[in-house]
Structure 1
Amino acid sequence: MKKNVLIIGAGGVAQVVAHKCAQNNDVLGDIHIASRTKAKCDKIIASVHEKKAMKQPGVLEGHALDALDIEATKALITSTKSEIVINVGTAFLNMSVLRACMDTGVAYIDTAIHEEPGKICETPPWYGNYEWKRAAECEEKGITAILGAGFDPGVVNAYAKLAKDEYLDKVTDVDIVDINAGSHGKYFATNFDPEINFREFTGVVYSWQNGQWQTNKMFEIGKDYDLPVVGTRRAYLCGHDEVHSLAKNMDGANVRFWMGFGDHYINVFTVLKNLGLLSEQPVKTAEGQEVVPLKVVKAVLPDPASLAPGYEGKTCIGDYVKGLKDGKEKTVFIYNVANHKEAYEEVGSQGISYTAGVPPVAAAMLVATGEWDVKKMANVEELPPKPFINLLNRIGLPTRIQDEDGDRAVSF
Structure 2
Amino acid sequence: MTAFDLPDLVHKIFDDQEVTPDARAILAQPDRQIAVSVPLRRDDGSLAVFPGWRCQFNTTLGPAKGGIRFHPGVTAEECTQLAFWMTIKCALMELPFGGGKGGAQVDPKDLSPLEVERLARGYIGAIADVIGPDRDIPAPDVNTDARVMGWMADEFAKITRRHEPACITGKPVCLGGSEGRTQATGRGALIVLDAWLEREGRKPEDVTVAVQGFGNAGAHFACLAHERGYRIVAVSDSQAAIHDPDGLTPSKLLDYKQKEKELSGALYADSSVKEGNGGEEIAQEDLLALDVDVLVLAAMEDAITEDNAGTVTAPLILEIANGPVTPEADAMLVKDGKVILPDVLANAGGVTVSYYEWVQGRTGERWGAATVTDRLTERMEAIAEACFDRAGDDDIPVREAAYAKAITRIADAISSRGDRSYFAG
Is TM-score (shorter-chain normalized) higher than 0.5? no
Relative to total residues, which structure has the larger helix share, 1 or 2?
2
Q: TM (normalized to structure 2)?
A: 0.37
Q: Which has the higher contact order (CA 8 A, sep 6+)?
A: 1
